[in-house]
């Protein structure tokens, strides 16, 4: 999908919820004004509590593998019920005013009772399948917390589709046999193999060799590994006792498998995002290196080019190359649309096609998976040399070529590649931002601070204005979303998956927001000074962020520490809203007007902060 399509669909999907939220907040401030002395703060607390409960509820439903369409119907019902409740609570509510909220409640309930959600979900899945394969081949779906896997038949093959691309094909004798041969020819006596990523067919090819004693298969989605065999047709299912699916998170599994594998094959075509980036970092390669035997070989696939390699593909391959070279003493490149980088500490690693042909021929039964002579057309020394030279000429600094957990780079190169493929002219702009470091992000902030101080000096800070309070909430939204993004990335890097936990993580942050808003609101009502409370909140917030940054980046932490970090971050952010609302109330703003301005500032700040934080991380 192109960058333009991603942006467009993101706007269309989120627009209804954003519009409803923007409309309801100032209206709720007017309603609550009748019974509360600080309506804006009270509505903010209610919104945070609702976000907390919603995040927990959706997380539970996803854990139970409830379909996304059904969840949307349930959310619609809950929203309609709240509107009906408000109408019933209004004095003198007429039957006519109850008609529309009642219909909005009844319609989704009838749809759920009649199974409309199931029909819609099936049609959506069939449409996704039909974009890639004929619709009559679709057979079913495997749900995991991370993704939806569609599977079915295409000619004589069983195919699994995820995110619009085939991620598994059985049998796949030619392609899987070639991948197996590329690695096996470097170590023809291999007995223990670890396959990471799309690999059922590859595992089957290795298991056809009598010398193989153990084949482990791992995947970023461990739940997929645990259940996919249940959906494979019996005639294609792997029933070999030497086959061992890894249901544990990969990097925790590697920590317990020191010196076990002769070959490790990392095959994650089209890998993007933090969930996959963590398998291409120096830290992960270090763990894989420790899991190899003395002369073991690691094979890593990256997107390449058959003849011409653009700047984006070259940058992606260069990052993997230089990261591997930091850890392994020898490296060989196999060119192609899917380029393979083979790394090892063994001096026997070579790119000589004739020698590799002879090595593969010594493996008993090797001709079953791939003819040894075929390596002469795969290992091409001249093209390998050209590709390595192209990797060495990328116009990026050294720190943008070594991929680390703390500084992910795979997403940067994939973003540039997607942008180029979709025709978006952002490649040079993104590169300049990456090379510019913090300066492009700090310059606008410094300019704004200077102009604001100049304005305050000119007018003496007097007059009825909502700017300072709105900017306080704008900054809160900016900082809050940026902290959540960074913490989510650290969590995903540490534990491997964010898909199921994202709702619960957001709920923890919202719980902190709720507690912070309630605490500061009570202190204000008891006569606390807004200025001193604001100063104390800023100092406490700075201290919490410093502690969280030092603790989470320097230590191996568990779930409890991350939960505390999310709650504390939310606690600090939640206190600014009551302070801003109190300042606007003191300035004489109507609660509805004040709520509208603060909600707008909060959302705009979150928008800008999310963009800035993502840009810095990329």
Q: What is the pLDDT of residues 146-169, one digit of tens each?
A: 788 999 999 889 999 988 888 899
**65, part of any domain:** no
257 is a domain residue: yes
Higher-pLDDT residue of 448, 116: 116
Same structural domain for residues 346 and 477?
Answer: no
Does the pLDDT value for residue 213 go beyond 70? yes
Last residue of a domain, one of 388, 419, 450: 419
Q: β-strands 138-143, 148-154: how paired?
A: antiparallel
pTM for this model (two decimals): 0.78
Domain with 399 in it: 185-419
**Alpha helix stretches (DSSP H) within 33-145:** 39-63, 68-89, 95-113, 116-130
Query: Which is more confidently placed, 230 or 312?
Result: 230
pLDDT given at position 336: 85
- Report H helices in 228-372: 250-255, 274-277, 282-291, 311-325, 353-361
pLDDT of amino acid 548: 81
CB atoms < 10 A from the CB of 571, how many?
Answer: 23
Residue 121 in tokens: 């979900």
Distance between CA 550 and CA 545 in Å, rounded?
Answer: 9
The answer to whether residue 371 sits within a structural domain is: yes
| CATH of residue 473 | 1.20.1250
Report residue 532 as tokens: 């001193």
Give the Cα separation of 270 and 323 in Å (integer). 19
End-to-end Cα spacing for the chain: 19
Kindly state whether residue 58 falls inside one of the protein's structural domains. Answer: no
Give the best-scoring range by mean pLDDT among 6-15, 251-260, 341-350, 502-511. 341-350
Residues 520 and 568 in one domain: yes
Phi, psi of 169 (to 5 degrees): -140, 125
| Predicted confidence (pLDDT) at residue 246 exceeds the cutoff of 70 | yes
Q: Does 242 share its domain with 274?
A: yes
Q: What is the mean pLDDT of residues 526-552?
A: 84
How far is CA 74 from each of CA 7, 54, 78, 79, rounded to the nearest angstrom?
27, 11, 6, 9
pLDDT at 106: 86
Q: Please say which residue of 368, 388, 419 terminates a domain.
A: 419
Looking up tokens 């791992």 gives: 218
pLDDT tier, 437 (very low <50, low <70, confident <90, very high otherwise): low
CB atoms within 10 A of CB 473: 28
pLDDT digits (tens, 9 = 90+) for 567-601: 998 888 888 888 888 888 787 777 777 777 788 88
Same domain, 315 and 453: no
Q: Which of 307-316, 428-437, 465-474 has the highest mean pLDDT?
A: 465-474
């Amino acid at each position: 999908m192109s960058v333009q399509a991603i942006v467009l669909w993101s706007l269309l999907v989120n627009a209804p919820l954003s519009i409803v939220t923007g409309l309801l907040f100032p209206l709720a401030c007017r309603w609550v004004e009748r019974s509360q002395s600080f309506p804006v703060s009270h509505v903010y607390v209610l919104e945070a509590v609702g976000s907390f409960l919603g995040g927990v509820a959706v997380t539970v439903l996803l854990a139970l593998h409830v379909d996304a369409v059904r969840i949307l119907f349930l959310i619609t019902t809950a929203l309609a019920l709240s509107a009906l409740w408000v109408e019933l609570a209004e004095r003198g509510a007429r039957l006519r005013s109850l008609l529309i909220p009642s219909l909005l409640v009844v319609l989704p309930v009838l749809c759920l009772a009649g199974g409309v959600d199931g029909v819609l979900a099936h049609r959506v899945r069939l449409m996704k399948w039909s974009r890639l394969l004929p619709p009559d081949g679709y057979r079913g779906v495997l749900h995991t917390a991370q993704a939806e896997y569609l599977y079915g038949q295409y000619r004589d093959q069983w195919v699994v589709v995820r995110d619009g691309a085939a991620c598994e094909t059985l049998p796949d004798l030619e392609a899987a046999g070639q991948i197996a041969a590329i690695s096996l020819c470097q170590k023809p006596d291999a007995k223990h193999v670890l396959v990471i990523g799309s690999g059922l067919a590859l595992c089957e090819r290795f298991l056809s060799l009598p010398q193989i004693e153990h084949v482990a298969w791992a995947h970023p989605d461990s739940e997929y590994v645990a259940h996919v065999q249940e959906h494979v047709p019996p005639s294609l299912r792997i029933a070999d006792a030497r086959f061992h699916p890894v249901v544990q998170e990969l990097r925790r599994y590697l920590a317990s498998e020191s010196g076990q594998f002769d070959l490790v094959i990392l095959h994650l075509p089209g890998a993007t995002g933090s969930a996959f980036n963590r398998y291409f970092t120096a830290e992960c390669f270090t763990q894989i290196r420790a899991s190899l035997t003395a002369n073991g070989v690691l094979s890593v696939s990256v997107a390449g080019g058959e003849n011409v390699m653009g700047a984006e593909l070259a940058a992606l391959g260069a990052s993997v190359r230089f990261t591997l070279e930091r850890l392994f003493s020898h490296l060989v490149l196999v060119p192609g649309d899917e380029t393979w980088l083979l790394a090892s500490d063994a001096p026997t690693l070579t790119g000589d096609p004739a020698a590799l042909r002879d090595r593969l021929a010594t493996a008993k039964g090797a001709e079953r998976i791939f003819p040894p002579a075929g390596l002469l057309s795969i290992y091409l020394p001249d093209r390998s040399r050209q590709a390595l030279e192209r990797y060495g000429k990328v116009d990026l600094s050294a720190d943008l070529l070594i991929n680390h957990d703390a500084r992910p780079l795979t997403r940067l190169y994939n973003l540039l590649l997607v942008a180029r493929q979709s025709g978006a002219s952002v490649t040079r702009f993104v590169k300049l931002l990456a090379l510019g470091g913090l300066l492009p992000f700090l310059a606008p902030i410094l300019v704004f601070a200077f102009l604001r101080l100049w304005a305050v000096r000119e007018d003496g800070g007097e007059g009825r204005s909502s700017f300072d309070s709105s900017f306080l909430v704008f900054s809160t939204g900016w900082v809050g979303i940026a902290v959540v993004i960074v913490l989510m990335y650290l969590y995903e890097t540490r534990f491997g998956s964010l898909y199921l936990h994202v709702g619960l993580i957001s709920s923890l942050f919202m719980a902190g927001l709720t507690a912070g808003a309630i605490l500061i609101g009570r202190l204000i009502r008891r006569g606390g000074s807004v200025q001193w409370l604001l100063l104390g909140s800023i100092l406490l917030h700075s201290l919490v962020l410093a502690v969280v940054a030092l603790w989470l980046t320097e230590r191996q932490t568990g779930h409890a520490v991350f939960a505390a970090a999310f709650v504390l971050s939310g606690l600090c952010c939640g206190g600014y809203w009551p302070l801003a609302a109190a300042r606007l109330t003191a300035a004489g703003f109507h609660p509805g007007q004040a709520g509208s301005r603060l909600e707008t500032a909060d959302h705009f700040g979150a928008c800008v902060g999310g963009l800035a934080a993502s840009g810095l991380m990329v």
